[in-house]
């Protein structure tokens, strides 16, 4: 009989942002598959486990996703408790449900454990209240990078009245800017670009929509980074202390 696979969100980087459930699952794990973007510091919760790095730099011949699927299956079928650690939340641009479905199709049960997604953690670490009353009627998590290379409808998003939190946007700043301006978003709309959110080496670049690509260039913004676009970013500038303590 195969054992269960835990698909665990490891949060954005700060190991203290791990949930208690994630810590419990890690404590049960015999094999841990860890993604590139996961802070290895969280491995302190599974000293008993065999740890296998399965990030893009995994160095395997097959595609990383196939390789990961097969590893999970192999160990689960050996009856070993497998924990798959993914950055942020497994189901926010993280293929968590695809992996769960694939495992189910192969007769293996899995359970997804939420993690704190980078967009939420980055905003809080920079003092940005994403849905501040009167300034935003919601928040949209959106990726700039899709498998089929299509773009989100930036113009529609500009009109949504929600704070935009953009994942995987570093290489597409000019395109995002153009789409949002076309949708009528003001050039003066405040923007925060947050690199390595929640980690001690987190960096934050403040800008406005009209200067976003140039400012990111000067700042030498690098992935992983999220963009927060909307009036709520200015609310943080008026605050003395951040909403949360950073490590
Ligand atoms: N499942 C993850 C997202 C994976 S997609 C989550 O919920 O956070 C990878 C993208 O997430 C990166 O390109 C970047 O946009 C964002 N990201 C992940 N970790 C980050 C971090 N510590 N700081 C800023 N952005 C991060």
Residue 4 annotated in active site: no
pLDDT tens string 55-99: 765 445 545 788 899 999 999 999 999 999 999 999 999 999 999
- 33 pLDDT higher than 90: yes
Q: What is the pLDDT of residue 237?
A: 66
**Residues 4, 21, 80, 168: which is the catalytic one?**
168
Share of the chain above pLDDT 70, in %: 92
Tell me, using a 6 A CB cutoff, whether residue 11 lines ligand 1: no
Q: Could you tell me how many helices (H) and strands (E) the chain has, helices first? A: 8, 10
Q: Whose CA is nearest to atom 3 of ligand 1?
A: 93
Report the alpha-carbon distance of residue 157 to residue 146 in Å, rounded: 16
pLDDT tens string 149-179: 888 999 999 999 999 999 999 999 999 999 9
Q: What is the pLDDT of residue 246?
A: 47
The full set of domains in the chain, from first to last, is: 5-113 (3.40.1010.10), 118-239 (3.30.950.10)
Residue 21 annotated in active site: no
Residue 14 annotated in active site: no
Confirm if 131 and 228 have CB atoms less than 8 A apart. Answer: no
Average pLDDT of the segment spanning 122-133: 96
Tell me, using a 6 A CB cutoff, whether residue 165 lines ligand 1: no
């Amino acid at each position: 009989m195969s054992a269960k696979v835990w698909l665990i969100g490891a949060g954005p980087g700060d190991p203290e942002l791990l949930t208690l459930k994630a810590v419990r699952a890690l404590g049960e794990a015999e094999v841990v598959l860890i993604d590139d973007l996961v802070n290895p510091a969280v491995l302190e919760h599974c000293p008993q486990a065999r740890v296998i790095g399965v990030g893009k730099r995994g160095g395997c011949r097959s595609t990383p996703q196939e390789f990961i699927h097969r590893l999970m299956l192999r160990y689960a079928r050996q009856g070993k408790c497998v924990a798959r650690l993914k950055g942020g939340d497994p189901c926010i641009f993280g293929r968590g449900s695809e992996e769960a479905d694939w495992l189910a199709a192969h007769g293996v049960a899995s359970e997804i454990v939420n993690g704190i997604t980078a967009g939420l953690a980055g905003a809080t670490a920079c003092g940005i209240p994403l849905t501040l009353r009167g300034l935003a009627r919601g928040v949209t998590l959106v990726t700039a990078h899709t498998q089929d290379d299509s773009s989100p409808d930036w113009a529609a998003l500009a009109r949504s009245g929600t704070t935009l939190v953009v994942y995987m946007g570093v290489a597409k700043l000019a395109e995002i800017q153009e789409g949002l301006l076309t949708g009528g978003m003001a050039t003066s709309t405040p923007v925060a670009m947050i690199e390595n959110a929640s980690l001690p080496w987190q960096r934050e670049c403040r800008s406005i929509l009209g200067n976003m690509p140039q400012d990111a260039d000067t700042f030498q913004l690098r992935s992983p980074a999220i963009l927060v676009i909307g009036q709520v970013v200015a609310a943080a500038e008026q605050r003395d202390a951040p909403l949360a303590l950073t490590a």
